Each structure stands twice: as structure tokens, then as C-alpha cells.
């Protein structure tokens, strides 16, 4: 029965870790979360310990379970605040089960485990060493606790070695699962971000452009805010590829991306939409300011010496089409079409210039 109950505790810990990871998948686990997040995580850990207490081994007024595992996890990964909150939940939960000598002693046990675990987590030791120390201290504390509360020596000789074994197994497994889930979430988040970034220039790609542009146009229309769009194309870029090769062409595009970033505001949306075509969404920006920004970018590109991989320097120019919601059009759904049409006019009328949508 003891093995069965402790094993049930182990499976509950694993299940709760996976449930927690699933619920936080849109907001992955962090090594330095906000205060609000720490409070919520601490409460979740405390509730997890309370669930474990509901599946405990009862020996008179003494209940035995693995409630210390969530507390150790929080001390190791979250620090003092979430650990303290979880301990408060454990204390309340234990007193709700019954107020007696056993409950007071068990509170001393969980508080001592929490304090020791927080202290160990701050010491420069390897992760596995910290886990070993935390679990060993917990097991030693548990042993003294049950020796004080339970008088049956033969039962203690059976219980303590079994508890130590399952506690070590549960602790290491819980830490492994937590690290696995955290790494998986961070990797998934990284892949999601990379899927929105152009691999060559580091700018936003067309997928990210579409996603953010739709949100910006909705906001501009709802709140009647100005929004301007620059459509940019490298003049005669095919000649660069044909003359110097595609590798050199890529090097040029990468440098152009840096110029576009430098020529725009930090909150503007700069994207490579494909090939030598770029866009800049100027947020809360009226036409006159958009023209000024576009002209500064055009001049910066015209004056820049683009370095090739073999050390050569070349120059190039760009053409820019501008459309602005509230100035060139009152139909925000036409912004892209108007900017594209203005770009066509800029290229048709001689290139290396900017044109504003009619």
C-alpha cells in the first residue's frame, strides 16, 4: 500500500508538470519571470503539494507524501518568492486536514526544506549536485520527522529506506521533466520567431509583415491614426547578380537591410518581402514625414559603398513608392496597392526616386 500511494504521488507530480507546461505554452517558462508570474507559479506549486497531500499515506494523525518535491522545484527555478507562497499554501492545506502535533511538525519540515533549498539554489554548484543536496536534506528531515511522530520501529525501518528511494526517483525525474519541458518551450518559441525573420537580412519576412500589417491597419482604422507604407525596390538588381553572382547579391541585400533599419524608427516595421523588394510600415506617421524618411533612405543608399566579398565596392540606387492612410487614401485596404502602384511609377519615370500615390 505504501509503494502504491507513493507511486501515485509520483504520477501526480508528472501529470501536473505536463498540465502546467501545456497551460503556459503561449507564455513559456522563464528563468526570470515577472513578479506576477512568480506569485502565480508559487500558488500553482502550493496547490500541487495540496493535491499530493490528498493522496497520502495516513498513519494515525501523520500523513506521508511527496509534497516537498514542488517546493524544491520552485526553490531551484523560481527563487524565494514563489517558494514562500507555495509553503503558505502547504501550511493552510495541512491545517485544513487537521490541527495537531503532526501538522505542526510537518510545517517545520516543509519550512526547513524550503529554506535549505533556497540557500542551496544560490550556491555555485552543478545542477545535479544541488538536486542531490536538496533531496538528501529533505529525506533526512523527513526521517527525523517520522521518527519523532511514529513509534513503530519495524514500520520505520521499512518506511524510511522506501521513502528515500522514491523521493530520490521522484525528485530527479521531476527536475528532468521540468528541464525538458522548459527547453522544449524555449526551442518552440525560438522556431516561431525564426519563422517570422528573413534569414538573409534579419528583417521581418513577408509572413511577419502580413501578420503585423493587418493588426496595424485595423488599429489605424479603428482609432483614426495615420499609417504610411513605403514600397522599396533595388534598381537593376539583376545586373548585380549577373555581374558579380548571387552570393555577392546577397551580401548587398544584407547591407541594404542594415541601412533600412538605420533610416527608420525603432518601432517601425521593416521587412524583406521577397527578392530585392522591401517594405517599411511607418506607424503613426503622416505623409510629409513619410516622404522625409523615404528621401533620407534613398540618399543614404545612393551614397553608400556596398562591400562585396572580394573587397570590391559598388554603388546602387533604390526606387520608393509611398502611400499614406488619411493622405493619399481613405481606404486603408488600398494602402498596399497604392504603394505598389507608386513604386511602379518611380521605376517607370527613371528610378532612384520616390513617388507618392495619387
* CA 263 – CA 154 distance, rounded (Å): 79
Q: Nearest to residue 243, comparing CAs of 191, 305, 161, 308?
A: 308
d(CA 237, CA 255): 14
Beta bridge partners of 169: none
Residue 302 a catalytic site member: no
Which residues, in sequence order, are bridge partners of residue 226?
none
Cell readout for 153 is 520501529
> How big is the chain, counted in residues?
358
Distances in Å between the Cα of 184 and the Cα atoms of 24, 33, 66, 76, 215 are: 12, 17, 26, 19, 29
From the list 189, 193, 194, 276, the catalytic residue is 276
Residue whose C-alpha cell reads 525564426 in the numeric block = 194
Are 257 and 300 in contact by the 8 Å Cβ rule? The answer is no
Residues labelled catalytic: 276
Amino acid at each position: 500500500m505504501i509503494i502504491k500511494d507513493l507511486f501515485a504521488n509520483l504520477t501526480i507530480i508528472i501529470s501536473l508538470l505536463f498540465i502546467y507546461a501545456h497551460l503556459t505554452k503561449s507564455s513559456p517558462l522563464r528563468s526570470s519571470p515577472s513578479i506576477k508570474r512568480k506569485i502565480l507559479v508559487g500558488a500553482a506549486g502550493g496547490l500541487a503539494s495540496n493535491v499530493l497531500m490528498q493522496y497520502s499515506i495516513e498513519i494515525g494523525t501523520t500523513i506521508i507524501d511527496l509534497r516537498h518535491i514542488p517546493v524544491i522545484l520552485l526553490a531551484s527555478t523560481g527563487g524565494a518568492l514563489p517558494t514562500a507562497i507555495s509553503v503558505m499554501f502547504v501550511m493552510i492545506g495541512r491545517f485544513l486536514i487537521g490541527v495537531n502535533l503532526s501538522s505542526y511538525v510537518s510545517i517545520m519540515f516543509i519550512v526547513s526544506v524550503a529554506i535549505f533549498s533556497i540557500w542551496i539554489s544560490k550556491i555555485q554548484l552543478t545542477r545535479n549536485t544541488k538536486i542531490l543536496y536538496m533531496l538528501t536534506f529533505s529525506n533526512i528531515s523527513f526521517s527525523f520527522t517520522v521518527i519523532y511522530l511514529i513509534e513503530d520501529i519495524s514500520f520505520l525501518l521499512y518506511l524510511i529506506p522506501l521513502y528515500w528511494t522514491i523521493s530520490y526517483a521522484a525528485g530527479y525525474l521531476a527536475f528532468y521533466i521540468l528541464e525538458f519541458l522548459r527547453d522544449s518551450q524555449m526551442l518552440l518559441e525560438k522556431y516561431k520567431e525564426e519563422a517570422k525573420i528573413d534569414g538573409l537580412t534579419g528583417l521581418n519576412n513577408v509572413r511577419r509583415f502580413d501578420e503585423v500589417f493587418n493588426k496595424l491597419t485595423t488599429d489605424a482604422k479603428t482609432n483614426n491614426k495615420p499609417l504610411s507604407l513605403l514600397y522599396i525596390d533595388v534598381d537593376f538588381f539583376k545586373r548585380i547578380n549577373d555581374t558579380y553572382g548571387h552570393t555577392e547579391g546577397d551580401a548587398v541585400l544584407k547591407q541594404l537591410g542594415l541601412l533600412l533599419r538605420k533610416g527608420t524608427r525603432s518601432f517601425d516595421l521593416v521587412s524583406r518581402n521577397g527578392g530585392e523588394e522591401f517594405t517599411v510600415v511607418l506607424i503613426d506617421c503622416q505623409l510629409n514625414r513619410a516622404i522625409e524618411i523615404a528621401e533620407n533612405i534613398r540618399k543614404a543608399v545612393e551614397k553608400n559603398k556596398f562591400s562585396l566579398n572580394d573587397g570590391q565596392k559598388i554603388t546602387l540606387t533604390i526606387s520608393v513608392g509611398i502611400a499614406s492612410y488619411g493622405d493619399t487614401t481613405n481606404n486603408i485596404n488600398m494602402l498596399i496597392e497604392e504603394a505598389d502602384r507608386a513604386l511602379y511609377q518611380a521605376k517607370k519615370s527613371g528610378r532612384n526616386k520616390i513617388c507618392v500615390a495619387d
